[in-house]
Amino acid sequence: MRIGVPKEIKNHEYRVGLTPASVRELTGSGHQVLVQAGAGAAIGLDDAQYLAAGATLAQDAAEVFAQAEMIVKVKEPQPSECALLRPGQILYTYLHLAPDPAQTAALVRSGAICIAYETITGPGGGLPLLAPMSEVAGRMAIQAGAVYLEKSKGGMGVLLGGVPGVPAAHVVVLGAGVVGTNALQMAVGLGARVTVLDKNVDRLRQLDLVFGNRIHTVFSTAHSVEAAVLDADLVVGGVLIPGAAAPKLVTRDMIARMKPGAVVVDVAIDQGGCFETSRPTTHADPVFVVDGVVHYCVANMPGAVARTSTFALNNATITHALALAGKGWKQALRDNIHLRNGLNVAEGQVTFEAVARDLGYAYVSAESLL
């Protein structure tokens, strides 16, 4: 199969779909890989490394899309990229369709086979292609929150870990999944007072066994979320319903009653966000203020640490890329139910139930197309 890797064009997005090591895996299996010139240059992966791994270079994205049978990316295709997709072409990337009707419509029109990293499941449960970026985003959420708590950045002027004689900041983490766990690890390490909320008591029990009295675990209800948020200096939103829009756990009224200069970091913004006041931002303009509360809602947070993120992502994506290239999409999806769960749009149909429900499309099962 001929596989194409375009340069990412989203604001301040420097990750790349395939590393030279991943290219070598594919070319070693008999596939051709076409990489847009300069696709990895910003993170130290120069064209010479791709050539040495067996890739050929394309001068622009149009050439990549025109020649490739499968496109491997990181972020969802931008409108100019959607226009380059064609019927039957495989698109393998993050999509986050539920909060993005325009992209969904464009992919439906394209007739392409669109497989989303974030809905591919794992044998032991979980979302293994989403997990590495969730780990990065969870850790970054605390770094970003600590910065924007500084007075010069619009925050209340609080040091996350405090100092002797002065209380540490209160960090509230909504969701005890991969994002939440990595966020609380960082927050605990910096000496913050940490509260984590989740509806899964078994998960809270696991965290209690690991962290003991260094964190407070609370069962998530509307009442407990409100109480925690109103006492918080920093709130990290890390809730997820796979493939669907994120639930709005924090209302506009709660935001209005938070401490002036408090910070919220909405890691769920890719799926629409879990704060009613959230809207997507970029690394170029990452924050806005609502009712005195600083909102950090960057939709591609891991792009800020693009080299780390690229290698972590490729570790998770290469196995399925090899299967898709080696077997073709239909056979690969027949053989692996977990990869099949990644099919969101195919041949003009929406094949992921939560996306169809949230955006008003007729749902067509992946199995019916195989």
Residue tagged 């407990």 (tokens): 224
* CA neighbor of 262 nearest in space, from 160, 135, 134, 140: 160
CA distance 331 to 53: 27
- Residue 84 has a pLDDT of 98
**Residue 81: both structure tokens together:** 């990229």
Q: How far is CA 364 from the centre of its chain?
A: 25
Structure tokens at 161: 């870990």
pLDDT at 244: 85
3-state DSSP of the chain: CEEEECCCCCCCCCCCCCCHHHHHHHHHCCCEEEEECCCCHHHCCCHHHHHHCCCEEECCHHHHHHHCCEEECCCCCCHHHHCCCCCCCEEEECCCCCCCHHHHHHHHHHCCEEEEHHHCCCCCCCCCCCHHHHHHHHHHHHHHHHHHCCHHHCCCCCCCCCECCECCCEEEEECCCHHHHHHHHHHHHCCCEEEEEECCHHHHHHHHHHHHHHEEEEECCHHHHHHHHHHCCEEEECCCCCCCCCCCCECHHHHHHCCCCCEEEEHHHHHCCCECCCCCEECCECEEEECCEEEECECCHHHHHHHHHHHHHHHHHHHHHHHHHHHCHHHHHHHCHHHHCCEEEECCEECCHHHHHHHCCCECCHHHHC
- For 12, residues 6+ apart whose C-beta sits below 8 A from its C-beta are 282, 283, 284, 300, 303, 304
Quickly count: other Cβ atoms within 10 Å of residue 260's Cβ. 11
* 64, 80 contact by CB (below 8 A): no
Q: CA–CA separation, 246 vs 268, rounded Å? A: 7
pLDDT of residue 133: 94
CA 286, chain centre distance (Å): 16
CA distance 339 to 281: 30
Rounded distance, CA 39 to CA 66, Å? 17
Q: Tokens 């690394």 sit at which residue?
A: 283
pTM of the model: 0.89
- pLDDT the model gives residue 234: 98
Active site residues: 96, 270
What pLDDT tens digit does each residue of the chain (370 aa) get? 999 999 999 988 999 999 999 999 999 999 999 999 999 999 999 999 999 999 999 999 999 999 999 999 999 999 999 999 999 999 999 999 999 999 999 999 999 999 999 999 999 888 999 999 999 999 999 999 999 999 999 999 999 999 999 999 999 999 999 999 999 999 999 999 999 999 999 999 999 999 999 999 999 999 999 999 999 999 999 998 888 889 999 999 999 999 999 999 999 999 999 999 999 999 999 999 999 999 999 998 999 999 999 999 999 999 999 999 999 999 999 999 999 999 999 999 999 999 999 999 999 999 999 9
pLDDT for 288 equals: 98
pLDDT for 125 equals: 81
pLDDT of residue 352: 97
